[in-house]
Amino acid sequence: MAFAKRGRVPCCARVSCVRSKLWLIGLSGKVIDERQAGRTRRIQEQMVAHMYNGNSPLFRISLAVTLSLVALALSWTIEPIRDAGTSLLLLLAAIVVGIWLFGWRPGLVATSVGALGHVLLVLLTDADFVVESIRLIVFLAVAMLILALAVMRQEAEESLTSSETQLRAILENSLDPIAVSCEGLHRFVNPAYLRMFGYQQPGELLGQSVLKVIAEDERATIQRRIEMRSRGEIVVNSYETRGLRVDGSQLEMEVHVSTYVLKGVRYSLVILRDITDRKRALREKEQLICDLRDALSKVKTLSGLLPTCAGCRKIRDEDGEWHEMENYISDHSDADFSHGLCPACAERLYPEVFGPGSVTPSAWSR
């Protein structure tokens, strides 16, 4: 009660509080250690997985070095090979196999390790240092030559792969339908080509005849051009024809063909364009022009000087005959006449009706 009045905490309570805090600190530290340990295990597992991944450079280097060390050990262990002085040939063969399987970079590391191992074995044994040095120099020269050839080959393959990737990307992303054929059979079609004829997968056309997408009445002409092109004869490379969609409908298309030879085989590169809308618009334009020409041919117009009689108002035609003005104008134009009386003539001819004080003349005129 005295401690409570003075606002103090008993010693046992303070000790219990300190113990609780220490326990919490230890628990949190244990949790942190477990998290760090788990993170470390995951990193180690990833490193091991990456190391033993077939595409990992470290894994390929390890295999190449192991292969060269095994060859070196065998060459110095087997007495016939060692006595014949061909120990470096076995190592060179292992390095060539390593370069072929794993690439030139692992092969370079394997060559360095193999050369160092050979030098150590020479120093540890009673072998002739001068002779082994000459052999080592020859070995390194041959190995460097093989590595240089491997580098050139790999660069050529990478360049070829890059060019092929770029070309394929261009062909597949082109808006124009493009296909490659050989001997009248589809070898490559891009997505635009499939969309043009209504197909879904390239397998529906690959290996199939190109006549499959040609209208039936045009197939004989196309087949004749394919045969002429396969024989190397001169054929028209740009022309128009009609295609056949998968649903049986036809379309107008423009065809551009170019040929190339690869490994002695002649291929045809075909670029198509759908001109159905353009041909329809052209036909409508021609029909409109014909309609306008027909309309203009039916229009009759009068132009130039008309010889007219000053007395009777008759008109003379090209043959010298005189015609009434109304008849002549009606025959040479689409104008018609209706007759009536002007106010002056009405008053002169009918004074009793249209004279002064009579009904308004305009009311009687028609």
Q: What is the pLDDT of residues 159-216, one digit of tens each?
A: 888 888 888 888 888 889 999 999 889 999 999 999 999 999 989 999 999 999 999 9
Interacting residues of 331 by C-beta distance below 8 A, sequence separation 6+ = 323
Phi, psi of 156, deg, nearest 5 = -65, -40
**Domain of 128, in residue numbers:** 57-169
Q: Are residues 148 and 210 in the same domain?
A: no
Picking from 51, 68, 91, the residue at the C-terminal end of a domain is: 51
Q: Are residues 27 and 70 in the same domain?
A: no
Picking from 113, 147, 169, the residue at the C-terminal end of a domain is: 169
* Cβ neighbours around 36 below 10 Å, total: 10
Q: Are residues 240 and 141 in the same domain?
A: no
Phi-psi region of 56 (alpha: psi -120 to 50; beta: other; left: phi over 0): beta
Both tokens of 177, joined, read 């339908």
Cβ 87 vs Cβ 127: under 8 Å? no
Give the residues of the chain that fall short of pLDDT 70.
1-55, 79-87, 127, 297-304, 355, 357-366
Q: Are residues 75 and 155 in the same domain?
A: yes
Q: Are residues 251 and 355 in the same domain?
A: no
* Residue 17: predicted pLDDT: 58
Picking from 252, 276, 300, the residue at the C-terminal end of a domain is: 276
Beta bridge partners of 179: 189, 270
Q: Are residues 162 and 61 in the same domain?
A: yes
**What total number of domains does the chain contain?**
4
CATH number at residue 260: 3.30.450.20
Q: Are residues 44 and 22 in the same domain?
A: yes
Both tokens of 39, joined, read 């993170």
Q: Are residues 156 and 201 in the same domain?
A: no
Both tokens of 104, joined, read 């030139």
* Residue 72: predicted pLDDT: 78
Cβ 322 vs Cβ 314: under 8 Å? yes
Q: Are residues 71 and 46 in the same domain?
A: no
